[in-house]
Amino acid sequence: MKAKYKTLGLKKGASQEEIQEAYQRLSKELDPVANNNETFFVEKFAKVKAAYSALLTKKDHDEDEIPVKELNWFLKLFTIGDKFSFRDFFDRAKKMTVEFIAIFFGVFLSLAVDQKREDSNHRADNINNMKKLKVELQDILVYTDEYIEGVAWFNDLFQRQYDRWDENSDSVFLDVMGEGDEAFAFAPLSYYEQAMPYDPPKVTYESVQLDGTFRFLDDTLEHKLTQIYSGSTLFYIKENAYARDQAIVDGFVERISDRWVEELGDVKTQYNYFWKDNREYIQKDYYMNHNVFRRLGNFNQITAQLDEHKAGVEGAIALLDSILTYKQKEIEIIYWVVDFDFLQKK
């Protein structure tokens, strides 16, 4: 018991007030939540809490206990050991009463309870997984915003090129980036071969599918998550952002290798002089002009689909927030489910 006092920084025999003051001070200093749940603080807090509980129990027992020789014959029937405590007596009586009521009402009321109850042993893990899902959905929003910005940059670049295609200028296939001394010329179509597959994060979603968390989700939320991670909108986004876009890019590359190389010989699209020296030839290649037109249309379609997808993600985050708030305020009640058919057979 001396070690318990030492844990609270007290001398043996300290008063109840001193014990409470020491516990309140240490519980604030060692609060795991305030200290990022570091192992050191979690363990220290547990020891302080255990010491406080043990010392209070001892103090209460010391004050309440009555020697057996001072008891009447009735109280001696309920006494174990050499001392009797009214506190222990009433605590045991209350415990037995509560247990009886819990069993009585638990058995009969559970007959009307929906058997699709949460598995209480995994409830905390499921809530934690829902929090992780929320974080991943927020990551999807960030990823999608960055992807939309990338599509917008390429769309503006190629749109300017498409609008200028028929200009009578040797620099028609060149553009300028930067300002002042930092400005430089480049060929927009030299960036044309860069495809942009859309591949948002999904690790958490795949893991909760395996561990049973989906049984814990609201039906509306489960439907929203399914749409976000594997629905038709995502399918068409990926199809347009990769398969269709890549097919358009492949057509551009094949045109260069099959026609330009044969007719122009030395084709070096990475250099500005190539686009300047061969601009009349390129302007007459309406296949390439149409290829750029098709890609611009695909960019516009992808952007519209991404806006719709983004709205769905935002809606799922809002719904997940409300469910988490509700779940964290719940009082968990563990009950039994009785097989009524089994009872009738008996």
Residue 12 is part of a domain; what is its CATH number? 1.10.287.110
Judge whether 342 lies within some domain: no
| Token duo for residue 63 | 């004050």
Shared domain check, 156 and 17: no
Distance (Å, whole) CA 140 – CA 150: 15
Number of domains present in the structure of the chain: 2
Q: In terms of Cα–Cα distance, which of 45, 49, 79 is closest to 65?
A: 79
pLDDT digits (tens, 9 = 90+) for 149-167: 999 999 999 999 999 999 9
Q: Inform me whether the pLDDT recorded for 250 exceeds 90.
A: yes
Shared domain check, 253 and 142: yes
Which domain does 30 fall in, by range?
A: 2-112
Shared domain check, 273 and 140: yes
How many beta carbons lie within 10 A of that of residue 314, not counting itself? 14
Query: Mean pLDDT in the chain?
Result: 80
Coil, strand or helix at 83: strand
Please answer whether residues 338 and 111 qualify as being in contact, where contact means their C-beta atoms are separated by less than 8 angstroms. yes
Q: Inform me whether the pLDDT recorded for 335 exceeds 50.
A: no
Judge whether 68 lies within some domain: yes
Among the ranges 85-94, 129-138, 268-277, which has the highest mean pLDDT value? 268-277
Shared domain check, 185 and 133: yes
| Token duo for residue 52 | 């406080």
The residue that leads in pLDDT, 107 or 295, is 295
How many beta carbons lie within 10 A of that of residue 3, not counting itself? 10
Q: pLDDT grade, residue 330 (50/70/90)?
A: low
Please answer whether residues 5 and 14 qualify as being in contact, where contact means their C-beta atoms are separated by less than 8 angstroms. yes
Q: Region 204-224: what's the mean pLDDT?
A: 76
* pTM attached to this predicted model: 0.59
Shared domain check, 248 and 312: yes
Please answer whether residues 185 and 271 qualify as being in contact, where contact means their C-beta atoms are separated by less than 8 angstroms. no
The residue that leads in pLDDT, 61 or 218, is 218
Shared domain check, 166 and 94: no
